[in-house]
Amino acid sequence: MQEIIVKLLLIVVILIALGLLITKKNDMNKHQRKMLIRILIASSILLVLQFISIATFDILDDYLFVSSGRILRFALYFTDYLIIGHDILKKAFKGIMNRQIFDENFLMAIATVGAMAIAIYSNGDYVEAIAVMLFYQIGEWFQSYAVGKSRKNISELMDIRPDYANIEVDGKIEKVDPDEISVGSIIVVQPGEKVPIDGIVVEGDSTLDTSALTGESLPREVKVDDNIISGCINMSGLLKIKTTKEFGESTVSKILDLVENASSKKSKSEQFISKFARVYTPAVCYSALALAIIPPLVRLLIMGVDAQWGIWIYRALTFLVISCPCALVISIPLSFFAGIGGASNEGILIKGSNYLETLSKVKTIVFDKTGTLTKGVFEVDGIHHNKLEDEKILEFAALAESASSHPISKSLQRAYGKEIDRTRVSNIQEISGNGVIAFVDNHKVAVGNDKLMRSLNIAYINCHSIGTIIHIAIDDEYAGHIVISDILKPNTKKAIASLKNAGITNTVMLTGDTKKVADKVASDLGITKVFSELLPEDKVNKVEELLKVEGKDKLAFVGDGINDAPVLSRADIGIAMGAMGSDAAIEAADVVLMDDDPLKISKAIKISKKCLRIVYQNIVFAIAIKLICLILGAFGEVNMYVAIFADVGVMILAVLNAIRCLFVKNL
Ligand code: ADP
Ligand code: MG
């Protein structure tokens, strides 16, 4: 019975290996191809040997010397064993020489060499040792193929690396290495090409495909003076772009760096597994040794019966085969890698496995308001109580704000609408959470909120409109205020609602804006806790207070990095808006949302939960099967075939399960 099954299995292996070699040749690397050929040869030889009986070999004894048949039989099987297992034996030997003995190579080598030895002794079944090696190698091959494939998938998904940049020389376009382009150069991006370096459009208009960066399928229109980030694909018109960054500092390079280095930040589960393997493998080896020695000695010395050394040594070897921890060692890092890859394809950059893990435990999310929940693009609603013409007030405000990167400043400059002559402005001083003070045409201009006015002892007039009030004082005299207002991002409301689905129990908003505006936004969105009129350092303190009551649950802070980079790094997880956010934010954050869409927050959490669920499934599944087999193995209920199938089977299932982490589109 067993012989027939072995023959059938070998035939199946040969057919599959042949099929793969022919159809998937280009999908494999050189090593995988070589290994597959070895598997094919070894299993064919084994199959042929299965059809020659021991009696056939024994005939040789009559023609040559005694035992020559037995020796030839061993030689043939041993050659086959070396074909399939020589590299494992070599690695095990190297491990012993380097005093890093206990790894899966060692387990496999000891188990199969032991099985070989038993077979030589009894002139019995060599198939077992070879089959164990063969199926172990099949498992290894499968794993390397699957991992290679998912890595390739991820890098295809992340196919944003530009190979060249075009510059114009004497009316002709020349391709150059993007690394050689200095800041402020003009590059040309033709339709169909990737934008290689971040910059500002100086000529032309077009639509951009940003999907590789943001997962957002809607094309984006760009025209002269628009900022453009690298990695997008230019779809329609020719664009000339003035670069604002070097290639290495551009969005594409940063993203690729992030994704490539993400797996070096190990999660707790990964650390657990490598620690586990370090303790587990030696423990198993010593148990196997005990299983080989103690029961026979007990039988011999205490019970006074036959020791049955052969049986117990065989059981010990089976025990070693079962115990190989490869399913865990391979599938867990792969799950995290796939999860991070899948997320980046959705425009969510997660900087390490550890962050993915923490993200799955988040219960409280704290939001910054401006730029995070709202667009951060303020419109001027009115100019009140002004002592000058509207135009003049706006001009002073825009000039004083000329150096600030705050959304308010950007909006005032846009509302002013004219070219800003920076030579008219000097001594600019930005007081975060308050506003700016600067000299414009030698007048001292203060632009900011009531806090700023109070600190300068300027009597200001309260405004009754709801909106962000920007007071202006010229030469320490109150000149009036501008009412500006911001609107919610289109997805904000949906985003807050979907967080509840993702298991978030607490939502909190922090803002430097006035209580009136903050309360309105919060009640529109259904955010329960609001803290307003905070200075940047107050935001850090508030988050620290919230962290104290969190206990084991984790807290995430979502911000745009303008006045909140310290908070991003203080929270358990900092999530930054990448497209609009400052570089500091992207640096300080652990998770970056490429398209600033707040809906991606719940998506990131769902991805992390799926990924962790798969990791735990694999841990429990693999350890449970191992334990059951180990116990059965110790009682002699499992032979080596079952053992190797348990091992390779569990590994294949675990790897397939891990690859599910890649699919996050519909979460
Ligand atoms: P948020 O917490 O909503 O992101 P910030 O902490 O960035 O807000 O700013 C808080 C408040 O400080 C703003 O609402 C505004 O009143 C004032 N402010 C900050 N920076 C500026 C600036 N550059 N110009 C004018 N006002 C500013
Ligand atoms: Mg902000």
Output the pLDDT for position 401. Answer: 93
Cβ–ligand 1 contact at 413 (below 6 Å): no
Helix 268-297 and helix 309-323, axial crossing angle in degrees, nearest 10: 180
Are 269 and 231 spatial neighbours (Cβ–Cβ below 8 Å)? no
Q: Is 194 helix (H, G, I), strand (E, B) or coil?
A: strand
Q: What is the Cα–Cα distance from 89 to 78, expressed in whole angstroms?
A: 13
Question: Tens of pLDDT along 646-660?
Answer: 778 888 898 889 989
More confident residue, 501 or 27: 501
Nearest CA to ligand 1 atom 2: 511
Identify the band that residue 293 occupies on the pLDDT scale cut at 50, 70 and 90.
very high
Output the pLDDT for position 575. Answer: 94
More confident residue, 389 or 187: 187
Q: What is the Cα–Cα distance from 108 to 86, expressed in whole angstroms?
A: 11
What are residue 551's phi and psi, to 5 degrees? 65, -125
Q: What mean pLDDT do residues 440-444 have?
A: 94
Q: What is the Cα–Cα distance from 585 to 562, expressed in whole angstroms?
A: 7
Instruction: Tell me: pLDDT of 159 over 80.
Output: no
Cβ–ligand 1 contact at 588 (below 6 Å): no
Instruction: Tell me: pLDDT of 7 over 90.
Output: no
Identify the band that residue 385 occupies on the pLDDT scale cut at 50, 70 and 90.
confident
Question: How far does the centroid of ligand 2 lie from the alpha carbon of residue 369, in Å?
Answer: 6
Output the pLDDT for position 200. Answer: 93
Alpha-carbon torsion 428, 429, 430, 435, what sign?
A: negative
What's the token pair of residue 426?
Answer: 């000097």
Question: How far does the centroid of ligand 1 lie from the alpha carbon of residue 536, in Å?
Answer: 10
Residues whose beta carbons lie less than 5 angstroms from ion ligand 2: 368, 370-371, 562
Query: Tokens 């090593």 appear where?
Result: 31
Question: How far does the centroid of ligand 2 lie from the alpha carbon of residue 448, in Å?
Answer: 15
- Secondary-structure breakdown of the chain: helix, strand, coil percentages, each rounded to the nearest 5: 55, 15, 25
Q: Which residues of 412-432 are buried (b: 16+ CB within 10 A; e: fewer)?
A: bbebbeeeeeeeebeebebee
DSSP one-letter code for 374: B
Q: Are strands 591-593 and 573-577 parallel, antiparallel or unpaired?
A: parallel
Of 261-275, 614-628, 638-652, give the lowest mean pLDDT range.
Answer: 261-275
Identify the band that residue 285 occupies on the pLDDT scale cut at 50, 70 and 90.
confident
Output the pLDDT for position 581. Answer: 60
Of 271-285, 432-446, 485-499, give the lowest mean pLDDT range.
Answer: 271-285
Shortest CA distance to 291 belongs to which of 308, 269, 278?
308
Q: What mean pLDDT do residues 562-572 have?
A: 84
What's the token pair of residue 487?
Answer: 């609107």
Q: What is the Cα–Cα distance from 643 to 633, expressed in whole angstroms?
A: 8
Cβ–ligand 1 contact at 486 (below 6 Å): no
Are 266 and 354 spatial neighbours (Cβ–Cβ below 8 Å)? yes
Q: What is the Cα–Cα distance from 165 to 247, expressed in whole angstroms?
A: 10
Question: Tens of pLDDT along 255-276?
Answer: 777 666 666 677 787 787 777 7
Q: What mean pLDDT do residues 167-189 have?
A: 89
Q: What mean pLDDT do residues 218-235 have?
A: 86
Identify the band that residue 467 occupies on the pLDDT scale cut at 50, 70 and 90.
confident
Are 472 and 393 spatial neighbours (Cβ–Cβ below 8 Å)? yes
More confident residue, 153 or 594: 594
Are 555 and 572 spatial neighbours (Cβ–Cβ below 8 Å)? yes
Output the pLDDT for position 148. Answer: 76
| 3-state secondary structure string across 169-187 | ECCEEEEECHHHCCCCCEE
List beta partners, residue 431: 435
Output the pLDDT for position 317. Answer: 85
What's the token pair of residue 285?
Answer: 């080896």
Question: Tens of pLDDT along 444-464?
Answer: 999 999 999 999 999 999 888
Instruction: Tell me: pLDDT of 435 over 60.
Output: yes
Nearest atom (ligand 1) to Cα of 406: 23
Of all ligands present, the nearest one to the C-alpha of 433 is 1
Q: Is 73 helix (H, G, I), strand (E, B) or coil?
A: helix
Instruction: Tell me: pLDDT of 583 over 80.
Output: no
Q: Is 198 helix (H, G, I), strand (E, B) or coil?
A: coil
Instruction: Tell me: pLDDT of 43 over 90.
Output: yes
Q: What is the Cα–Cα distance from 238 to 228, expressed in whole angstroms?
A: 14
Identify the band that residue 216 occupies on the pLDDT scale cut at 50, 70 and 90.
low
Phi-psi region of 231 (alpha: psi -120 to 50; beta: other; left: phi over 0): left
Output the pLDDT for position 560. Answer: 83
| Percent over 70 (pLDDT), the chain | 96
In order of their start, the domains of the chain are 165-260 (2.70.150.10), 348-373+488-594 (3.40.50.1000), 379-485 (3.40.1110.10)
Nearest atom (ligand 1) to Cα of 559: 4
What are residue 120's phi and psi, to 5 degrees? -60, -45
Question: Tens of pLDDT along 85-119?
Answer: 999 999 999 988 888 777 778 888 888 898 888 88
Output the pLDDT for position 580. Answer: 63
Question: Tens of pLDDT along 71-88?
Answer: 888 999 999 999 999 999
Average pLDDT, the chain: 86
Q: What mean pLDDT do residues 562-590 have?
A: 81
Q: Are strands 573-577 and 554-559 parallel, antiparallel or unpaired?
A: parallel
What's the token pair of residue 289?
Answer: 């040794």
Long-range (24+ apart) CB contacts under 8 A made by 284-288 are 284/107, 284/319, 284/320, 284/323, 284/630, 285/102, 285/106, 285/107, 285/110, 285/320, 287/319, 288/316, 288/317, 288/319, 288/320, 288/323
Instruction: Tell me: pLDDT of 554 over 60.
Output: yes
Shortest CA distance to 588 belongs to which of 572, 569, 575, 573?
569
Instruction: Tell me: pLDDT of 243 over 80.
Output: yes
Q: Is 601 helix (H, G, I), strand (E, B) or coil?
A: helix
More confident residue, 609 or 4: 609
Cβ–ligand 1 contact at 532 (below 6 Å): no
Q: What mean pLDDT do residues 389-403 have?
A: 91
What are residue 433's phi and psi, to 5 degrees? 80, 0
Q: What mean pLDDT do residues 171-177 have?
A: 88
pTM recorded for the entire structure: 0.78
Cβ–ligand 1 contact at 313 (below 6 Å): no
Cβ–ligand 1 contact at 445 (below 6 Å): no
Instruction: Tell me: pLDDT of 587 over 90.
Output: no
Nearest CA to ligand 1 atom 12: 433
More confident residue, 231 or 78: 78
Give the E-state strand segments of 77-119 in sequence order. Answer: none
Is 368 assigned a catalytic role?
yes
Question: Tens of pLDDT along 406-427?
Answer: 889 988 998 898 888 889 999 9
Question: How far does the centroid of ligand 2 lie from the alpha carbon of residue 561, in Å?
Answer: 7
Identify the band that residue 478 occupies on the pLDDT scale cut at 50, 70 and 90.
very high
Are 317 and 114 spatial neighbours (Cβ–Cβ below 8 Å)? yes
